[in-house]
């Protein structure tokens, strides 16, 4: 919820001892909120544990519509929540009201329904039913799609009516290293095998690789270059491909499948890493560029480095959303904070995830620090 020390309990706060095991409870300006314990807070559940049973008004300063624009976050030890967070929190005030009227047993059913986003959204006369498969609904939003998709919601949506297609659209985080580590190892040995035939020859690359020590050094340099090159690929793909402005039916549909779904439902853990089949076209495009510059002998090991950078990125990305330990390591905490800002404050900033280098170079870094 924030990084400031929690304020002491004030009169009227719900005590931790009375908190039901199924929920976290908070008070904000005398309004009571009940948040299910399985709720995935973007800053980690540590913040929920730290502030449960307390008045957290200091994390939600008064403003237009009760929202916060983040001004002053960099000058304070307190993390001010965004207007998107305020909007999402309101449903838990409704839960608190319903639970107090009907009892916690019935309220738990409400938790399940509301957490799944069971409602119909109407955008300029176009209805989107979040209970039904979404992929072929979002295209009809046309020019309103970009505004809709960048208003985050809770839950894990269904993509397709077909169960087979639905399962193909989901990927567990460990699938990424399981698939790409063997590929990367193969590519390193492919370059080694191709280059060994050049050792001692005097033509072209063979004049540089005049002994095996030189070959090992060259392969290592190419691998490291490929790893660093990934940071540019990551930034370019995220900014110029995943955040392209779409408005037609099929462009909206494709955008939603590749990246829009992650912005609409940022805490959906099954659609947080790229399925290997979806990543393959990007991998082939990157290999074509590397082949053009490095040739058949060295391009494979450069690609192995790029794939290693990609795996590191995807693991960091996943843990930014779902791991507590990112809050214990300063540079990971800063990466997580920047990425949560990208989701909940300003999606036009913070395109680098594994590194902020290109955001600084191209002036797309977040303008204010919000300490998650």
Asked if residue 58 belongs to a known ligand binding site, the reply is no
- Angular region, 125: left φ>0, alpha ψ -120 to 50, beta rest: left
* 259 belongs to an annotated ligand binding site: yes
Question: Is 93 annotated in some ligand binding site?
Answer: no
Q: Which residues contact 97 (CB under 8 A, 6 or more apart)?
A: none
The Cα 362–Cα 356 span in angstroms is 10
CA distances from 350 to 8, 76, 166, 220, 357 (A): 35, 21, 30, 30, 10
Task: Say if CB 63 and CB 78 are below 8 A apart.
Answer: no
Q: Is 150 annotated as a binding residue?
A: no
Q: Give the residue among 6, 72, 162, 21 at the shortest CA–CA distance from 371.
A: 72
Which residue's entry shows tokens 């053009």?
292
Residue 106 contacts by C-beta under 8 Å, 6 or more apart in sequence? 98, 99
DSSP H or E segment with residue 267? none
Residues found in the chain: 372
Is 261 within 8 Å of 158 (Cβ atoms)? Answer: no
- Beta carbons within 10 angstroms of residue 229's beta carbon: 18
41 known member of a binding site: yes
Phi, psi of 321 (to 5 degrees): -90, -30
Positive or negative, the CA dihedral 162, 163, 167, 170 is positive
Cα dihedral 120/123/127/132 (nearest 10): -50
d(CA 198, CA 210): 8
- Look up tokens 């950078």; give the residue: 309
Q: Tell me: is residue 319 an annotated ligand-binding position.
A: no
| 103-117 residues labelled b (16+ CB within 10 A) or e (exposed) | eeeebeebbeebbeb
Q: Which residues are annotated as a binding site for heme?
A: 41, 81
Q: Which residues are annotated as a binding site for Zn(2+)?
A: 238, 243, 259, 262-263, 317, 321, 339, 342-343
Q: Which residues are annotated as a binding site?
A: 41, 81, 238, 243, 259, 262-263, 317, 321, 339, 342-343
């Amino acid at each position: 919820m924030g990084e400031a020390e929690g304020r002491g309990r004030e009169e009227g706060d719900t005590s931790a001892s009375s908190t039901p095991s199924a929920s976290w409870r908070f008070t904000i300006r005398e309004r009571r909120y009940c948040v299910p314990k399985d709720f995935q807070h973007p800053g980690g559940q540590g913040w929920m544990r730290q502030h449960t049973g307390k008045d957290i008004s200091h994390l939600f300063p008064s403003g237009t519509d009760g929202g916060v624009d983040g001004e002053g976050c960099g000058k304070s030890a307190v993390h001010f929540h965004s207007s998107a967070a305020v909007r999402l929190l309101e449903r838990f005030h409704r839960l608190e009201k319903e639970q107090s009227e009907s009892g916690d047993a019935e309220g738990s059913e409400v938790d399940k329904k509301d957490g799944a986003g069971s409602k119909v959204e109407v955008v300029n006369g176009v209805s989107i039913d979040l209970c039904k498969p979404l992929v072929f609904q979002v295209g009809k939003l046309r020019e309103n799609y970009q505004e809709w998709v960048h208003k985050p919601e809770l839950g894990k949506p269904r993509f397709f009516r077909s169960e087979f297609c639905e399962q193909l659209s989901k990927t567990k985080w460990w699938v990424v290293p399981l698939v790409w580590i063997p590929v990367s190892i193969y590519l390193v040995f492919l370059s080694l095998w191709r280059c060994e035939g050049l050792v001692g020859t005097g033509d072209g690359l063979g004049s540089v690789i005049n002994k095996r020590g030189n070959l090992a050094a060259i392969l290592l340099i190419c691998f490291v270059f490929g790893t660093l090159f990934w940071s540019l690929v990551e930034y370019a793909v995220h900014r110029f491909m995943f955040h392209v402005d779409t408005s037609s039916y099929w462009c909206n549909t494709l955008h939603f499948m590749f990246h829009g779904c992650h912005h609409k439902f940022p805490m959906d853990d099954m659609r947080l890493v790229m399925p290997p089949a979806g990543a393959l076209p990007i991998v082939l495009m990157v290999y074509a560029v590397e082949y053009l510059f490095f040739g058949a002998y060295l391009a494979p090991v450069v690609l192995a480095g790029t794939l290693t950078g990609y795996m590191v990125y995807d693991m960091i990305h996943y843990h930014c959303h779902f791991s507590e330990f990112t809050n214990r390591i300063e540079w990971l905490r800063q990466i997580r904070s920047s990425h949560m800002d990208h989701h909940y404050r300003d999606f036009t900033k913070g395109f680098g995830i594994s590194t902020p280098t290109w955001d600084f170079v191209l002036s797309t870094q977040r303008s204010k620090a919000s300490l998650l």
